[in-house]
């Protein structure tokens, strides 16, 4: 392709600016990865050197069979299938908070194994299907 | 039966609100656009003229 | 080959096609809405709230796609000085703005009954919020700067810079821990949406595309006439 001289110049300037900005964004992104975490998985909390005293979010699967209720206070375990964290929560559970599904929990760590929740958000996955299909999938799993 | 349909197993409010918001904003976008065009249509002969080709100002438009 | 980029050819094409586009739109919209609201099944966990997906997801796709076009058009206009591409971008921007707003509002309305919150600053929601702001900035700059050539240059730059946000939105759910669920429909794997739900989703997407095209043709016509008048 034949471009005029001024077009070539603009292309040059543009590519220089693009390279410069993408480098800047690359560094910003790398730092963001380290500093801005929306939620911690149980493994991340295990790897922390000290227990943060401020509000954090914890995310993972609600362990099946772990949800218990005592005097309006819920107790359950959040797991990433390797590490488990015990959670205490006083409040209403969202409809989609189900054992075996994931959730994001806001609150403070009492210690590395015990989390006091103030808000619970249910996280749902990318699977959408009618109830009949879900039931037959479940049956197939049990038969195996 | 109709009430059941509107209720949407208890989530009717959220569902109908989102559909209503979508419909309202799209319809208003359409009408604003049509109105804008009509406001200027009395000089429509302008775009009929041959000179409109000037709009694609650059000679390169045809070159590449 | 590039004759279609000439406004006059474009207008003739638009004038004849807009009637048929409207008929296709009416048909697709009726089928899509009936499927979405009546015949599509409920989700095994979310029950009826899954129906919000049929307006939320297509709107998000379109708002992303339109910004992609705006970015590329801005690039062509700024570097190669094919200025008609700025007019494309300018006519598309309000459509993208409205769709991004729909995406955010219906997303909140979906989030409250499912997640338990209207809003949370996770990667996907934050980057989508930035997209809405970019659209507002873009549209605002066009109406605020009275000098056409200056406005064209500045909005071109906004369009190109804003392009960075598009992959961030797309991959935010893969790069970071987010509250928002990962993509159900990808180019590389089978969709994780059951076919009875995929059908209304795609039909609604198709009708939103046609609607965007109709509004674009109307706005484009206005912008071109406007361009001529301002030049005189």
Contact C225 B47 (CB under 8 A): yes
Same domain, A13 and A57: no
Contact C145/B at CB under 8 A:
no
List C-alpha distances in Å: B49 to A36, B44, B46, C170: 57, 9, 5, 44
Residue A137 resides in a domain? no
A121, A108 Cβ separation under 8 angstroms:
no
Query: How many angstroms away from the CA of C183 is the closest CA of chain A?
Result: 6
Least CB–CB distance from B61: residue in C37, C82, C102: C82
pLDDT value for B47:
52
Same domain, A15 and A72: no
Same domain, A65 and A83: yes
As a whole number, the mean pLDDT across chain A is: 80
Q: Which helix (H) or strand (E) holds A84?
A: strand A84-90
- Please identify among residues 162-221 of chain C the ones whose CB lies closer than 8 Å to any CB of chain B: 211, 214-215, 218-219, 221
pTM of the model: 0.84
Query: How many angstroms away from the CA of A1 is the closest CA of chain B?
Result: 8
Least CB–CB distance from B22: residue in C55, C95, C214: C55
Same domain, A97 and A77: yes
pLDDT band at A135 (very low <50, low <70, confident <90, very high): confident
Q: For chain C, what is the largest distance between any 2 Cα atoms, rounded to a whole number of angstroms?
A: 62
Same domain, A46 and A114: yes
Residue A140 resides in a domain? no
Contact C211 B26 (CB under 8 A): yes
Contact A15/C at CB under 8 A:
no
Nearest in space to C145 (alpha carbons), one of C163, C162, C158: C158
Nearest in space to B6 (alpha carbons), one of C118, B17, C43, C117: B17
The 10s digit of each residue's pLDDT in B17-49 is: 999 999 999 999 999 999 988 888 666 555 555
For this complex, say whether ipTM is above 0.95.
no
Q: What are the phi and psi torsion angles at A122 (to 5°)?
A: -85, 135
For every residue of C119-141, DSSP letters joined together read: ----HHHHHHHHHHHHHHHHHHH
Contacts of B46 in chain C (CB under 8 A): 225, 228-229
Same domain, A14 and A59: no
pLDDT value for B22:
95
CB-side neighbour CA atoms (13 Å) of C181: 22
Report the C-alpha gap between C132 and C135 in whole angstroms: 5
Residues paired with residue A114 on neighbouring β-strands, in sequence order: A86, A111
Name the one residue in this structure whose structure tokens are 């189900």.
A98
Q: Which helix (H) or strand (E) holds A75?
A: strand A73-79
pLDDT band at A144 (very low <50, low <70, confident <90, very high): low
pLDDT value for C213:
94
Contact A4 B60 (CB under 8 A): yes
Contact C151/A at CB under 8 A:
no
The 10s digit of each residue's pLDDT in C84-130 is: 899 999 999 999 999 999 999 999 999 988 888 888 888 888 889 98
Residues paired with residue C76 on neighbouring β-strands, in sequence order: none
Contact C92/A at CB under 8 A:
no
Contacts of C176 in chain A (CB under 8 A): 37-38
Same domain, A8 and A77: no
Q: How many domains does chain A have?
A: 2
Nearest in space to C36 (alpha carbons), one of B23, A123, B31: B23
Report the C-alpha gap between B42 and C174 in whole angstroms: 52
Nearest in space to A103 (alpha carbons), one of A87, A114, A90: A87
Contact C44/A at CB under 8 A:
yes
The average pLDDT across B5-23 equals 88
Report the C-alpha gap between A123 and A110 in whole angstroms: 23
- Please identify among residues 39-98 of chain A the ones whose CB lies closer than 8 Å to any CB of chain C: 39-41, 59, 94-98
Contact C181 A37 (CB under 8 A): no
pLDDT value for B63:
38
Sign of the Cα torsion B40, B44, B47, B51 reads negative
pLDDT band at B57 (very low <50, low <70, confident <90, very high): very low
Q: Are strands A84-90 and A56-62 parallel, antiparallel or unpaired?
A: unpaired
Contacts of C109 in chain B (CB under 8 A): 14-15, 17-18, 21
Contact C114 A127 (CB under 8 A): no
Q: Could you tell me the two tokens for C13? A: 């094409």
Q: Is the pLDDT of residue A19 over 50?
A: yes
Give the least confident one: A76-90, A126-140, B47-61. B47-61
The residue range of the domain holding A8 is 1-36
Contacts of C143 in chain B (CB under 8 A): none
CB pairs under 8 A between A and B: 4
Sign of the Cα torsion C218, B31, C128, C112 reads negative
> Higher pLDDT residue, A66 or B58?
A66
Q: What are the phi and psi torsion angles at C189 (to 5°)?
A: -130, 165
Report the C-alpha gap between A118 and A126 in whole angstroms: 26
* B59: CB partners within 8 A, 6+ apart: none
Same domain, A54 and A115: yes
Nearest in space to A112 (alpha carbons), one of A44, A60, A61, A62: A44
Sign of the Cα torsion A30, A35, A39, A44 reads positive
Query: How many angstroms away from the CA of C15 is the closest CA of chain A?
Result: 34
pLDDT along chain C (232 residues), means of 10: 65 83 94 90 84 94 96 93 90 96 95 86 86 92 87 92 90 81 79 86 95 94 79 56
Contact B27/C at CB under 8 A:
no
Same domain, A20 and A65: no
Which residue from C minimizes the CA distance to B56?
C84
Residues paired with residue A56 on neighbouring β-strands, in sequence order: A107
C217, C70 Cβ separation under 8 angstroms:
no
Which residue from C minimizes the CA distance to A34?
C176
Q: What is the CATH number of the domain that holds A97?
A: 2.40.50.140
Contact C79 A7 (CB under 8 A): yes
C58, C63, C66, C71 alpha-carbon torsion, rounded to 10°: -140
Residue A130 resides in a domain? no
C222, C87 Cβ separation under 8 angstroms:
no
C123-144 vs C84-114: helix crossing angle, rounded to 10: 140
Same domain, A59 and A88: yes
Chains that touch C (3 or more CB pairs under 8 A): A, B
- Please identify among residues 32-61 of chain C the ones whose CB lies closer than 8 Å to any CB of chain B: 37-38, 42, 47-49, 51-52, 55-56, 59
């Amino acid at each position: 392709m034949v471009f005029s001289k001024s077009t070539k110049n603009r292309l040059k300037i543009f590519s220089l600016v693009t390279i410069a900005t993408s480098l800047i964004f690359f560094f910003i992104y790398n730092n963001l990865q380290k500093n801005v975490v929306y939620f911690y998985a149980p493994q991340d909390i295990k790897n922390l050197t000290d227990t943060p005293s401020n509000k954090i979010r914890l995310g993972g699967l609600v362990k099946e069979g772990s949800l218990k209720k005592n005097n309006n206070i819920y107790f359950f375990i959040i797991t990433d299938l390797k590490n488990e964290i015990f959670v205490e929560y006083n409040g209403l559970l969202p409809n989609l908070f189900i054992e075996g599904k994931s959730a994001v929990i806001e609150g403070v760590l009492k210690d590395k194994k015990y989390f006091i929740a103030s808000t619970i958000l249910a996280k749902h996955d990318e699977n959408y299907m009618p109830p009949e299909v879900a039931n037959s999938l479940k049956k197939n799993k049990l038969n195996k | 039966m109709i009430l059941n349909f509107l209720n949407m197993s208890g989530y009717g409010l959220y569902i109908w609100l989102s559909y209503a918001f979508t419909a309202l904003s799209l319809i208003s976008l359409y009408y604003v656009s049509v109105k804008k065009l009509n406001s200027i249509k009395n000089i429509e002969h302008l775009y009929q003229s041959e000179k409109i080709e000037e709009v694609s100002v650059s000679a390169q438009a045809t070159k590449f | 080959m590039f004759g279609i980029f000439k406004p006059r050819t474009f207008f003739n094409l638009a004038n004849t096609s807009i009637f048929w586009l409207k008929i296709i739109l009416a048909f697709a919209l009726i089928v899509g809405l009936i499927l979405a609201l009546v015949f599509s099944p409920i989700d095994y966990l979310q029950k009826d709230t899954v129906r919000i997906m049929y307006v939320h997801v297509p709107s998000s796709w379109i708002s992303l796609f339109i910004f992609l076009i705006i970015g590329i058009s801005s690039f062509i206009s700024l570097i190669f000085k094919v200025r008609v591409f700025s007019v494309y971008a300018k006519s598309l921007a309000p459509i993208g703005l409205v769709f991004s707003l729909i995406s955010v509002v219906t997303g909140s309305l979906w989030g409250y009954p499912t997640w338990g919150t209207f809003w949370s600053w996770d990667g996907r929601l934050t980057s989508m919020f930035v997209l809405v702001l970019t659209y507002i900035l873009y549209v605002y700059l066009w109406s605020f700067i009275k000098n056409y050539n200056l406005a064209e240059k500045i909005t071109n730059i906004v369009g190109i810079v804003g392009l960075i946000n598009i992959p961030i939105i797309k991959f935010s759910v893969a790069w970071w821990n987010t509250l928002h669920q990962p993509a159900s429909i990808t180019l590389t794997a089978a969709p994780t949406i059951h076919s009875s739900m995929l059908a209304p989703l795609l039909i609604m997407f198709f009708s939103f595309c046609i609607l965007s095209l109709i509004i674009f043709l109307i706005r484009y016509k206005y912008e071109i006439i406007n361009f001529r008048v301002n030049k005189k």
